[in-house]
């Protein structure tokens, strides 16, 4: 049963985000603080509170983003737009390293967002290490066939591990 204290907007945004920060992909269920409904384009810049301008963000990403919509891309020293979760797909701009600890920007927008929002903060890396280790252990002990299939799938996708990460973070540890 839905929590009567949660607004329809919050429920819709949380469902769209699948319970994860739409920037760093951290799962809300492991956070010590409630995730924010973040204005992608800030109200201070004239934007409104609407579904196409609200993203679910962990407190760290929300704080680092603040009212930014652009950041300097250090390779070219030019201003580029930050990642926009409603108009862009995460996997087009980011990927994971082989241990799912670091987010790697694939585009200028992705790299500028990684830097501006500090998507590889030490706390996030620690959380990712714990989640990855727990998932590896569960799959090794309880689901060796699934693990083999997933690893084969990773090899077939030539290093694109986004789907494996989504699966791994959705496994419930019991």
141-159 average pLDDT score: 54
* This model's pTM is above 0.85: no
Residue 144: its pLDDT value, please?
55
Report the mean per-residue pLDDT for the chain.
84
The residue among 129 and 148 whose pLDDT is bigger is: 129
Residue 162: its pLDDT value, please?
44
The residue among 155 and 47 whose pLDDT is bigger is: 47
- Label residue 42 exposed, middle or buried (CB < 10 Å: 0-12, 13-18, 19+): middle
Residue 148: its pLDDT value, please?
57
The residue among 98 and 164 whose pLDDT is bigger is: 98
Residue 86: its pLDDT value, please?
97
Q: Could you read off the pLDDT of 99-130 as tens digits, one per residue?
A: 899 999 999 999 999 999 999 999 999 999 98
- Label residue 152 exposed, middle or buried (CB < 10 Å: 0-12, 13-18, 19+): exposed
CA 77, CA 74: separation in Å to the nearest integer?
5
**Residue where the block lists tokens 């799912």:** 100
Residue 140: its pLDDT value, please?
64
What residues contact residue 16 under an 8 Å CB cut-off, 6+ apart?
A: 56
Residue 81: band (very low, low, confident or very high) from pLDDT cuts 50, 70, 90:
very high
For 95, phi then psi, to 5°, come to: -150, 180
The residue among 8 and 3 whose pLDDT is bigger is: 8
Residue 137: its pLDDT value, please?
67
Pairing between β-strand 78-81 and β-strand 70-73 as defined by DSSP bridges: antiparallel
Q: Residue 139 above 90 pLDDT?
A: no
61-90 average pLDDT score: 96
Q: Select from 51, 54, 80, 62 the least CA-distant residue to 23.
A: 62
For 91, phi then psi, to 5°, come to: -65, -15
Pairing between β-strand 54-57 and β-strand 103-105 as defined by DSSP bridges: unpaired
Per DSSP, 27 falls in state B
């Amino acid at each position: 049963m839905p929590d009567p204290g949660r607004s329809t907007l919050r429920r819709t945004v949380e469902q769209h985000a699948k319970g994860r920060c739409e920037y760093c992909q951290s799962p809300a269920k492991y956070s010590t603080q409630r995730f924010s409904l973040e204005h992608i384009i800030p109200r201070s810049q004239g934007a409104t509170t609407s579904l196409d301008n609200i993203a679910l963000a962990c407190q760290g990403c929300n704080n680092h983003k603040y009212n930014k919509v652009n950041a300097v891309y250090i390779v070219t020293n030019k201003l580029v737009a930050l990642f926009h979760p409603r108009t862009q797909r995460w996997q087009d701009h980011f990927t994971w390293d082989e241990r799912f600890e670091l987010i790697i920007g694939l585009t200028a927008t992705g790299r500028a967002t990684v830097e501006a929002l500090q998507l590889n903060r030490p706390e996030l890396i620690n959380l990712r290490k714990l989640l990855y280790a727990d998932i590896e252990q569960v799959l090794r002990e309880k689901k060796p066939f699934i693990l083999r299939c997933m690893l084969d799938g990773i090899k077939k996708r030539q290093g694109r591990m986004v789907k494996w990460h989504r699966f791994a973070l959705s496994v419930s540890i019991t």
